Amino acid sequence: MARKKIIAGNWKMNMTPTEAKALCETLKPLVDNPDVDVVYCVPAIDLVPVSEAIQGTNVNLGAENMYFEEKGAFTGEISPAMLADVGVKYVVLGHSERRGYFGETSEDVNKKILKALEYGIVPIMCCGESLEQREQGVTMDFIRQQVKVGYMGVTADQAKGTVIAYEPIWAIGTGRTASNEQAEEVCKAIRETIAEIYDSDTAEAIRIQYGGSMNAKNCKELLAMPDIDGGLIGGASLKPDFGVIVNYNK
């Protein structure tokens, strides 16, 4: 069965609640495509206003992070129950900005994935190499490790419903997109890693996104690659361009 494409915006640390509501209104007529799962992953403070603003549309609510504990003395953190309660369906976990600026490890990401699954929230696990790693020729080893550790203890049935985003760090926010071939090569290797951990059914079911300067111009070609099942979009998700990406097949 063909995998349904999933196009998710990662708003990062952008959009006040007032701006968020306005952006939802702007995008509303532009993001209607029944062939695609559409997700807005938004800052925690925007979750409630965005959940209201997307009522009655095809857009799903997503968060950008989550803590792996249920509740308690973890000042500043957000629990999976809190996300589930406001209607969050997806959560970005292990984004390279979280790993790089906030010291998140693959072990942390693994705990978060397990917890999100417990609460019925679909994890979008990010992985990706730095420019230095690419130049050293260790991209595949590094990403396989991120995937294997991230998915420790996740069952095959659970893994089937999850999403992995391949985001080469050197392509994020730089305007320097991976070539279609580079993106496909790594997304294919991720699928092979999933087949190795589980089986070919699981590898065929899991959805793998590409992220890193995906935009209205380059999305069509990237999304035509056999192992690229969607996009995780940063900068272009804050503009009407996002609608062009969602409608890449029109």
Interface contacts to ligand 13P, rule CB under 6 A: 10, 95, 167, 172-173, 211-214, 232-236
Cβ-based nearer residue to ligand 13P, 202 or 215? 215
CA pair distance 147, 110, nearest whole angstrom: 9
Please, what is the minimum distance in Å from the beta carbon of residue 72 to ligand 13P? 29
CA separation (Å) from 240 to 3, 30, 202, 248? 25, 7, 34, 13
Catalytic residue among 64, 104, 129, 167: 167
Please, what is the minimum distance in Å from the beta carbon of residue 75 to ligand 13P? 26
Catalytic residue among 95, 97, 104, 129: 95
Please, what is the minimum distance in Å from the beta carbon of residue 90 to ligand 13P? 12
Cβ-based nearer residue to ligand 13P, 71 or 220? 220
Closest residue by beta carbon to ligand 13P? 234
Cβ-based nearer residue to ligand 13P, 116 or 198? 116
Please, what is the minimum distance in Å from the beta carbon of residue 235 to ligand 13P? 4
**Across 47-199, where does the E strand assignment appear?**
59-63, 90-93, 122-127, 163-166
Please say whether the beta carbons of 85 and 101 come within 8 A.
no
207-211 vs 230-233, strand pairing mode: parallel
Active site residue 167: yes
Cβ-based nearer residue to ligand 13P, 10 or 146? 10
Q: Report which secondary-structure segment, H or E, holds 114.
A: helix 106-118
CA pair distance 97, 92, nearest whole angstrom: 11
Cβ-based nearer residue to ligand 13P, 100 or 161? 100
Please, what is the minimum distance in Å from the beta carbon of residue 175 to ligand 13P? 8
**Across 50-203, where does the E strand assignment appear?**
59-63, 90-93, 122-127, 163-166
CA pair distance 40, 42, nearest whole angstrom: 6
Active site residue 204: no
Collapsed DSSP state (helix, strand, coil) of residue 79: coil
Residues serving a catalytic function are 95, 167
